[in-house]
Structures are given as structure tokens and as C-alpha cells.
A and B are shown apart, each in its own frame.
Chain A
């Protein structure tokens, strides 16, 4: 079995580029090819039981990383090792391995097939992976899964369709449909951003309880640092396909070092700070287009501290303190 010291998941130099859509006739003649560099050399480890959060604005590449780990995208370069095995090596080896990595999506209104009953949605994975010996066993497994996510009595939900449920209930169904497969790693892509603020925490609480009960490991993809602070053991702040800061949740929140992390933290809405007490660092503009990347440090066009060296040199991710990595020339 797996060795103690091997992390559950190793992402090594992960790079995912997509060919850019419109290429003009001149670039065709010159043979130039443009790419959307969605993820560009991302490296991190996740150990069993950790809650690792990928934080960034849309366009930062966080969802692409999640989908690459789930096996949806093949890396352009780099490797993803799960329990020490490359998930993109031969199909035979990885079939059972892949089942252990499951994903939950942002929009529970779109991620569940509208024409299937809750029983069929939750039971589908059981059939695909032939996990139940008999129909009775399948019923029992679906029932357990629904009960585990707080949908009780489970029988009442069997014949319902997704549109008959609230957003929170649908997200619970999505969680149940991953649970029946006994995953080790769950990637949750903005699981509560579409849910009412008042009900968000109940979904998070459920996921944290399941983690304790089943020894699950989570990768959360979030834009809300306040939420990430409560639930994560580790944080990676992403900007334009690269990690700009990485460390334990405590270190990153208490001592944010990268200017981008500081800006993100300063704009998290808070009721406990009044208008004048807080100093907000509002970055101008939006995240640039990942086809034509800025030279040097990718953050320099929006960085309040940028100097001419930032335009030229691309900083490396450096360990500034123990287990706290920052990509910035000024540190």
C-alpha cells in the first residue's frame, strides 16, 4: 500500500494550454500558434486529510487545475500524481484510481441532469463502477448516501427531480452522488457561491463533518477568502495561471506577503469594520488576457508597488519562511 511519506496528491509543474481560437492568415503563414496559457507551471502537494484551497479571480486558472486533477484535461506539460501514480499513465492502472477523485461543481442548477430522478442520479455511479451486488444493495447505498448528506427521510427524495429541490438540497444531492463512490479526494469548485448566504454555512458544515467521518481530503476552488480562512488548512493564491503565494492558511491570512494577496484580503466585505476603519487596496482593471501575457511579473500592470525591474524579470516562487512561498521580486 501507499507509503506514509508520499503525499496523497502531487501536482508537479502542471501546465495546461489551450490553442487560441481566432488565428489570422498571417500567423498561419508564419506558422505562429497562439495559446491560452490557463495554467502555467503550478506545483503543490496535498496530504491526506488536508483542506487545500485554490484562491483567485475568474481567469486565474483555478478551475482548470481542478479539472486537470479530475482527469478532464490532459496536462500540456507536467504531472499529476495521485498516491504516487501518474493519473495520465495507462488507462488500466488508473481506472480505479480515478474513481477516488471526485468533483462537485458550482451551479447545482446545471450540474444535475434535469430528466433523472434523485435516485438515478445518486445511483448512476454505483452502476458505472459496478459497486452493488444486487438492486437491494444499490437501494441501501443510495439511502445511506442521502441520509449522510442530511436529506431525510431519503425515500421521499428517491422519485423527485432536481427542479423540485432548493439550491442547497441540490448541492447535497451532488455531494451524495460522489459519496457513493467512496472517494479519497473531493474537488469542490465554488460549491456554495450560488447558494443563499444564510444557507451556505450548512453545506460547508456538512462537508467538514464528512471529512472527519470518512477521512476525506478536499481541494476547494474559491474566490472568497473569508470562507477559505475558516475551512482550509492550506491556501494557494493564483494569478494568471501561476501560484503567487502558497502556505498554511494561518500564515497566508495572518501574514500575507504578495501584493495581490494583500489586495484580495483588503476587499473582502466585512460588517465588523466600518467604512473608515479599513483601507482597501482596489486594483484597477481586470485580470489580463492569458493569451498575451504581460512581460516580467504577470501581476506588474496592476501592482501598486511595481518598478521597472518587475517589467523585465519574472520572479520565482521562493520559500520566504518555512512552508510559506511567495512569487515577488520585492520580498
Chain B
């Protein structure tokens, strides 16, 4: 059996609040991403999906703790255990991240091509300043930023262009894994379509894997091979994306799919009733039971295990 690029095992990340309570944001999460594979991590805001990404990248705030579990990268590096020195060799070089508010990530006082060049120089000591700048310009070309725009400051670019710059930075050192955390949310549909195509072609070109984090299940189908649906800190459905979209098994996944609008369909969308639970005090039993249309007594008492429903398709529900 091949070892996957990233294997997340039984991961628990909690936040500790001043009030004394604990938020169980990630509460036993398992998944794998193979070489060149793309995974969509889907869920509502507050389900813990960004915390998964921040745990992998070790970008957690000081009040967060990795309680348990592993994130094994390239079969040997445990990302939950590495120290700051090792992290410097991993971030951007092996794993990079694109944030939702990329505009906040760019340095407002530096020309965008200089920012990319600086990143290249920092990680590859042998490269000269000019070479780094040349490479930065090449990267801007790949993400379709006109060459003269490289001399602009971030505020002179549109939101879509800034997101392209952050994609250029994310791919600058040809990482093995790109994490994209809600990369499209603040953007227009046409820009979104451009960026989806761009990400797709870039991953293919440099052979990286992709982890797309989003609340919008609609954009995942075009970009990803696998899907993990997350609810209240746990993955409730996991597997091949086509299989999940065609025959979703968990009531939450079904709810998410029913809530999307679709230009080709005449069926009216339906919202999932209720709100996601407070993760400092999650519901007993199955965490989705208060909002589930099929709940029984059993669901209130006992938590279901993630079981195999079919080939490459896993579900955490008693009745699927």
C-alpha cells in the first residue's frame, strides 16, 4: 500500500477560553490526501474546518492545544510534533496556504513582485536578488497578472488580483500540498471561475495536492477528487466526491446538498433547520441529532462510528 502525502489520525484540537470553558473545535478527525489528490473539507462556519488547516500548518493561536492525534506528512514527519525550526522548512516549501482574506496577508508597503521575490530568497539562500525577481515575475505571469502590475502595491490591485498574487506566493516554492481556506468567498463568479481553472491547472503542472476548505459545496465538484463533510468538530461523511454527490448518505450531507441553488435544476432549495451547536457544550450522542429529520432515541444516547458504506465511502450515522 502506498503511503499518502498527508495522513490525519484521530486529531483533537481544543481552544481554551478565559471563561474557563473548552471549545472542542476538532474532535477526532481522520482523513488522507494522496500525492496529486485533492480533498474538499466542507462544513458550516464554526464546524472546525479552518482549525484543521491551522493545526496542520501550526498556525494556532496561543489558547489552542493539540490534545491528541497525528498529522503525518510524507510518511514520516508528524506535523503536530515538529518544532519552529523544522516548521520553517515545511511552510511554503512543502505546505502552503491561501487564505480567504488574502488582501490582509500581503504587506501593504511592498511591491507585489518584491514580496514574492523576498519569499523565494528567504527559503533558497543560493538565489541572487535578480534571479529571485525574475522568478517572481514568471510566477505572476503564471497566475495571469500583467507584468506592469508587479510594480504595484497591494492596494492598487483588485480583490481578484490580490488573490492571484497570494496564489503565486503559495506556489512559489512548488509545495507538495496547497491548502486553500475559503479562497473564493469574497469574489465575483467570473473571478471565481478564473481562479478555479487556475488552481486546477497549477496543481496539475507542479503536481501538488490540494485541500480546499469551503462552506459552499457547489464549487467542490469541479476541483476535487475526495470530500470530507465536517459537522461540529467531526467528519460525518468521507470518500469519493462523485459517490457522495450522487448518493449522499448522512442526513447532514443531504441537507447541505439540498440547500444549494442550482442553475440547471427546478427543485427549490431547502435550508437545514436549526443552528450548528455550541462546541463548548456539544449535544450528547450523535452531534447532528437535534437538527436531524431521522433522529431516534438511539441517536440521542449513543455516538455512531464512522463505518464503511461502500467502496471509498464512509458515513457516521446509524441509519444510512
Q: Name A residues whose Cβ lies closer than 8 Å to a Cβ of B.
A: 57-58, 166-168, 196-202, 205, 223-227, 229-230, 253, 263-265, 267-275, 280, 282-284, 286
- Chain A residue at minimal CB-CB distance from B267: A230
**In the complex with contacts A201-B270, A267-B193, A196-B44 CB distance below 8 A:** yes
**A-B CB contacts (within 8 Å), total count:** 110
Which of B159, B192, B259 gathers most chain A CB within 10 Å?
B259
Report the Cα distance A199→B44, complex, angstroms. 9
Query: Is there an interface contact between B189 and A268, defined as CB atoms closer than 8 Å?
Result: yes
Query: Is there an interface contact between A271 and B257, defined as CB atoms closer than 8 Å?
Result: yes
B69 within 8 A of A: no
Q: How far is the CB of A150 from chain B (nearest CB, A)?
A: 11
Report the Cα distance A314→B222, complex, angstroms. 37
Size of the chain B interface, CB-CB below 8 angstroms: 42
B132 within 8 A of A: no
For residue B263, which residues in chain A have a CB less than 8 angstroms away from its CB?
A: 225-226, 229, 253, 265, 268, 270
B2 within 8 A of A: no
Q: Which of B159-204 contact A (CB under 8 A)?
A: 159-161, 188-194, 196-197
- Chain-A contact segment, one of B83-91, B213-221, B300-308: B213-221
Query: Is there an interface contact between A283 and B190, defined as CB atoms closer than 8 Å?
Result: yes
B152 within 8 A of A: no
Which of A270, A273, A283 gathers most chain B CB within 10 Å?
A270
**In the complex with contacts A57-B190, A198-B271, A269-B219 CB distance below 8 A:** yes
Interface flags, B71-104, vs A, CB<8A=1, else 0: 0000000000000000000000000000000000
**In the complex with contacts A253-B263, A271-B260, A282-B189 CB distance below 8 A:** no
Report the Cα distance A207→B264, complex, angstroms. 23
Report the Cα distance A229→B44, complex, angstroms. 24
For residue A202, which residues in chain B have a CB less than 8 angstroms away from its CB?
A: 271
Q: Which of B208-228 contact A (CB under 8 A)?
A: 215-222
**In the complex with contacts A196-B45, A230-B261, A282-B190, A274-B221 CB distance below 8 A:** yes
Query: Is there an interface contact between B262 and A267, defined as CB atoms closer than 8 Å?
Result: no
Partner of B265, one of A223, A272, A280: A272
B136 within 8 A of A: no
Q: How far is the CB of B286 from chain A (nearest CB, A)?
A: 18
A-B contact pairs, 12 of them (CB 8 A): A57-B191, A166-B275, A198-B215, A198-B255, A200-B259, A200-B261, A229-B261, A230-B269, A268-B263, A271-B220, A271-B262, A282-B193
**In the complex with contacts A201-B269, A229-B261, A269-B221, A274-B242 CB distance below 8 A:** yes
For residue B160, which residues in chain A have a CB less than 8 angstroms away from its CB?
A: 286
**In the complex with contacts A166-B275, A271-B221, A283-B190, A198-B44 CB distance below 8 A:** yes
B272 within 8 A of A: yes
Partner of B189, one of A199, A225, A272: A225
For residue A57, which residues in chain B have a CB less than 8 angstroms away from its CB?
A: 188-191
Q: How far is the CB of B50 from chain A (nearest CB, A)?
A: 13
Q: How far is the CB of A108 from chain B (nearest CB, A)?
A: 13
Query: Is there an interface contact between A196 and B192, defined as CB atoms closer than 8 Å?
Result: no
- Chain B residue at minimal CB-CB distance from A263: B190
Query: Is there an interface contact between A275 and B222, defined as CB atoms closer than 8 Å?
Result: yes
Report the Cα distance A273→B222, complex, angstroms. 9
**In the complex with contacts A196-B45, A197-B215, A199-B271, A223-B188 CB distance below 8 A:** yes
- Chain A residue at minimal CB-CB distance from B214: A197
- Chain A residue at minimal CB-CB distance from B221: A271
Report the Cα distance A83→B183, complex, angstroms. 44
Q: How far is the CB of A235 from chain B (nearest CB, A)?
A: 12
Which of B196, B216, B218 gathers most chain A CB within 10 Å?
B218
Q: How far is the CB of B138 from chain A (nearest CB, A)?
A: 19
Query: Is there an interface contact between A270 and B218, defined as CB atoms closer than 8 Å?
Result: yes
- Chain B residue at minimal CB-CB distance from A280: B193
For residue B194, which residues in chain A have a CB less than 8 angstroms away from its CB?
A: 282, 284
**In the complex with contacts A270-B263, A273-B264, A201-B271 CB distance below 8 A:** yes
B268 within 8 A of A: yes
Report the Cα distance A168→B273, complex, angstroms. 12
- Chain B residue at minimal CB-CB distance from A57: B188
For residue B196, which residues in chain A have a CB less than 8 angstroms away from its CB?
A: 269
For residue A264, which residues in chain B have a CB less than 8 angstroms away from its CB?
A: 189-190
Report the Cα distance A198→B253, complex, angstroms. 10
Report the Cα distance A280→B192, complex, angstroms. 12
Partner of A197, one of B190, B197, B217: B217
Which of A196, A263, A274 gathers most chain B CB within 10 Å?
A196
Report the Cα distance A225→B189, complex, angstroms. 9
Q: Which of B125-168 contact A (CB under 8 A)?
A: 144, 158-161
- Chain A residue at minimal CB-CB distance from B160: A286
